[in-house]
Amino acid sequence: MFLIILGLVALWFLFRWYRELARVPNIREKYVYITGCDSGFGKLLAKHLDKLGFRVIAACYTERGEEELKKVSSERLNTVHLDVVSTDSVNKATAFIKSLVGEKGLWAVVNNAGVSVPSGPCEWMTIEDYKSMLDVNLNGVIGVTLSVLPLIKKARGRVVNVASVFGRISAFGGPYCVSKFGVEAFNDSLRMNMAAFGVKVLCIEPGFFKTSVTDIHLLRSNLKNLWDKQPDDIKEQYGHDYPERANVTLEKNVVKWLDADLMKVVNCMEHAISAVHPRTRYSPGWDAKFVWLPLSYLPSWFSDKMLLKDLAKPKASIH
């Protein structure tokens, strides 16, 4: 019986592997719009798709980002300035894309731009901290998507949303997990709404990868900035050595998981864009597959216990 089940599972994986090999035709005529191409996954994806022959429209936040990308790509690749927080900037980028793609429409948009700070205990934040991150990570995704959706429907194309495995489990405080849970919700409702139009909506949920958003210096200075703003009673409750203890756990919890192979994420993005049968969700990274996702399915009392075990504790709770 055990062998029969094992055989059936193996057969299922073989079938899925074979089914997922097929790629869409005419990639040289397909336009792909990617946000946040100055660095990290976005930049690597833009270069990768350009090499494969796609017509990449790489949106960069900075002029330097645009120049650097142009130097290393073919003349097929176009860059455009984009600040996902500004409606004016989003509309200008969309007008440029419209003029490029013409009647063919846009094959895919990859909502990749994002920020990771401020992050820390919820009570250390102001509502402005929440708003500023939600504006980039969530409203930015929604705004960009809505602005190009008519072009994507024309091509019966795809929307690829970069969420995070922290859109499946809230493992730390602050607006990041809130923003990524929001991206997951937007992704799922849009997927159902667009099914009738032949538009596929796919979600990427990476674990920890080594990019600017997980840079340990950024995370340390984020912690210091937030701590410096806290009133004395909060500092008393957490203990004056809290920043040092939190830095130790930061090293232990984040640095140990950081995966330097960004291609694991880029390959998932490419599959979502180019496979005839893409997956609804991709979770690149061993930590995503074997730690965070399984933890997200377990009862809250258990996952809370596991997560709290590794976090720095406020002095008030240390007995």
Ligand X SMILES: NC(=O)c1ccc[n+]([C@@H]2O[C@H](COP(=O)([O-])OP(=O)(O)OC[C@H]3O[C@@H](n4cnc5c(N)ncnc54)[C@H](OP(=O)(O)O)[C@@H]3O)[C@@H](O)[C@H]2O)c1
Of the candidate residues 30, 31, 34, 42, the single one contacting ligand X (CB under 6 A): 42
Provide the phi-psi class of 105: left if phi over 0, else alpha when psi is between -120 and 50, else beta. Answer: left
Contacts of ligand X in 122-151 (CB under 6 A): 136
Of the candidate residues 33, 40, 182, 223, the single one contacting ligand X (CB under 6 A): 40
Of the candidate residues 108, 115, 152, 159, the single one contacting ligand X (CB under 6 A): 115
Q: Does residue 36 bind ligand X (CB under 6 A)? A: yes
Binding track, positions 80-99, relative to ligand X; x by CB under 6 A: --xxxx--------------
Stretch that binds ligand X, among 70-78, 206-214, 216-224, 235-243 (CB under 6 A): 206-214
Residue with smaller CB distance to ligand X, 119 or 274: 119
Residue with smaller CB distance to ligand X, 34 or 226: 34
Q: Tell me how far, at minimum, the Cβ of 42 lies from ligand X, in Å.
A: 5
Q: Does residue 214 bind ligand X (CB under 6 A)? A: yes
Mapping DSSP onto H, E and C, the string for the chain reads CHHHHHHHHHHHHHHHHHHCCCECCCHHHCEEEECCCCCHHHHHHHHHHHHHCCEEEEEECCHHHHHHHHHCCCCCCEEEECCCCCHHHHHHHHHHHHHHHHHHCCCEEEECCCCCCCCCCHHHCCHHHHHHHHHHHHHHHHHHHHHHHHHHHHHCCEEEEECCHHHCCCCCCCHHHHHHHHHHHHHHHHHHHHHHHCCEEEEECCCCECCHHHCHHHHHHHHHHHHHHCCHHHHHHHCCCHHHHHHHHHHHHCHHHCECCCHHHHHHHHHHHHECCCCCEECCCHHHHHHHHHHHHCCHHHHHHHHHHCCCCCHHHCC
Burial readout 158-170 (b: 16 or more C-beta within 10 A, e: otherwise): bbbbbbbbbbbbb
Q: Tell me how far, at minimum, the Cβ of 208 lies from ligand X, in Å.
A: 5
Stretch that binds ligand X, among 72-80, 209-217, 273-281, 308-316 (CB under 6 A): 209-217
Q: Does residue 41 bind ligand X (CB under 6 A)? A: yes
Stretch that binds ligand X, among 39-47, 66-74, 271-279, 301-309 (CB under 6 A): 39-47
Of the candidate residues 33, 61, 186, 292, the single one contacting ligand X (CB under 6 A): 61
Q: Tell me how far, at minimum, the Cβ of 139 lies from ligand X, in Å.
A: 10
242 is known as an active-site residue:
no
Of the candidate residues 73, 161, 164, 187, the single one contacting ligand X (CB under 6 A): 164
Question: Shortest CA distance to 24 belongs to which of 312, 293, 278?
Answer: 278
Given 31, 61, 176, 282, the catalytic residue: 176
| Residue nearest ligand X, CB atom distance | 40
Catalytic machinery residues: 176
Where do contacts with ligand X occur on this chain (CB under 6 A)?
35-36, 38-42, 61-62, 65, 82-85, 112-115, 136, 162, 164, 206, 208-209, 211-214
